[in-house]
Amino acid sequence: MKRPSFSPLIAAALIFCFIIFIPNQYLLPMITDKKVEKAAVDLDFEMFQGEIIQKKMLESPKYLPIYGSSELSRLDTFHPSNYFKVNAIGVTPFLVGRGGMQSFVHFLNFANQTEGLKHKKLLFILSPQWFYRQGATQQSFSANFSTLQAYKFALEPKVSERLQIEGSKRLLTFDVVKNDAMLKTLLEAKIHKDKKTQMKSTMIKPFAFAFMKVLEKRDLLDSIFDVQLTKLHPKPSLIKNKSWDQLEKNAYEMAKAKSTNNPFYIDDFYYNKRIRPKIEQLRGFRKDSSLLVSPEYQDFQMVLDVLKEAKAKPLFVSVPVNGYWYDYMGLSKKEREGYYKKIKQQIEKEGFPVLDLSSHEYDPYFLKDTLHLGYKGWLPIDKAIIELTKHP
């Protein structure tokens, strides 16, 4: 009887150990400029939760980072990634965001990247739906939470002590953090200075550092072996070397052809899939909702504070909702206008500029659905990016 060979298993174990213990500096050259370029539109979950790709992106003047949430994945013809693929201006939009990524998730990311953010121009797209009464839910935060970024925040903080304390308190309101005993202890030590808490933190720090190094290695390996999934499909005939009037006309015509079965100017595919089956249940659904009282405002203030500390150069984009649809759902125009005014004042109070698009609530095809930018809605952002690149 032939004896089983353990050679493949032993070889695999040796390769695994080699990869784990090899110093990161020997692997970093494998993160090429080409990999960073591919990541610009990939909307890759591991990249959002990591640091290496984003760090290299921020170091390069070639990229303009755009932070947001699910609207970034609406990669239609007029989306900045498609528009500047055809109309090159020497700057490539780099997308950081997906559904459920709200202010505090971005804060944690920014807090880990303060060196790269210094004097860096960026866009930050705000979504009104973040600002409902509950703010970030346990589910949405957990789905987008970065363990690596949280441990870096706890062990290698790059922000002021005030933001460390505020950030730690907010982190400890989420179950995914409270259920991590080691991380919980580290964060509590930032808030409570009593001897017992500090001693517990000191005792677990060596283990926490070791765990953080494993997470860093995983981020590095994910970055090296990541496979690009998203590909752009620009349509030069609609966007190349066109005047803004012609672009708006083309966007209008494209949207009109795809939005034919409802009075809300919503894309047919989205309407059929998400709205039509429950259209009657959604009538007046938001009549008791509010956008003016939410923990999200404090989370967003931490975003403003960390960008100010980092000396970043953000342009904030205040996106409207679909006025026709929100009238149907019962969220009053007064409530919506109160949100637009409040968020604009909060940003301008910190000295940052705002691209306020709130006047486009009833502009047909400015949004692709109920609240995501699309078609015509991307054009003011394309213009803003061109303006940003003109000034040092």
Residue 5 gets which letter from DSSP?
P
Residues listed for the chain: 392
Enter the tokens of residue 324.
């026709």
- Tokens 């797209």 found at: 125
Enter the tokens of residue 129.
């739906």
For residues 50 and 345, the answer to whether their CB atoms sit within 8 Å is: no
Residue 6: its pLDDT value, please? 43
Helices of type H across 60-180: 80-86, 103-111, 114-117, 138-144, 147-155, 161-171, 175-178
* Alpha-carbon span 172 to 323, nearest angstrom: 36
Residue 14: its pLDDT value, please? 47
Residue 335: its pLDDT value, please? 96
Residue 309: its pLDDT value, please? 98
Walk me through the domains of the chain, giving residue ranges and CATH numbers.
27-140+231-390 (3.40.50.1110)
Mean pLDDT by 10 residues, the chain (392 residues): 49 50 58 85 88 94 96 94 95 95 98 97 97 96 97 98 98 98 97 95 95 91 75 90 97 96 96 95 95 97 98 98 97 97 98 98 96 95 94 72
- Tokens 């931490």 found at: 302
pTM: 0.92
Enter the tokens of residue 24.
């990161």
pLDDT (tens digit per residue) in 35-61: 888 889 988 888 889 999 999 999 999
> How many Cα atoms occupy the beta-carbon half-sphere of 38 within 13 Å?
13
Does the CA dihedral 230-233-239-245 come out positive or negative?
Answer: negative
Enter the tokens of residue 297.
């405002």
CB-count burial class (<10 Å; 0-12, 13-18, 19+) for 257: exposed
pLDDT (tens digit per residue) in 238-274: 999 999 999 999 999 999 999 999 999 999 999 999 9
Of 189, 210, 208, which Cα lies nearest the Cα of 199?
189
Angle at 122 between CA 118 and CA 126, to 5 degrees: 125
Enter the tokens of residue 334.
């007064």
Residue 20: its pLDDT value, please? 55
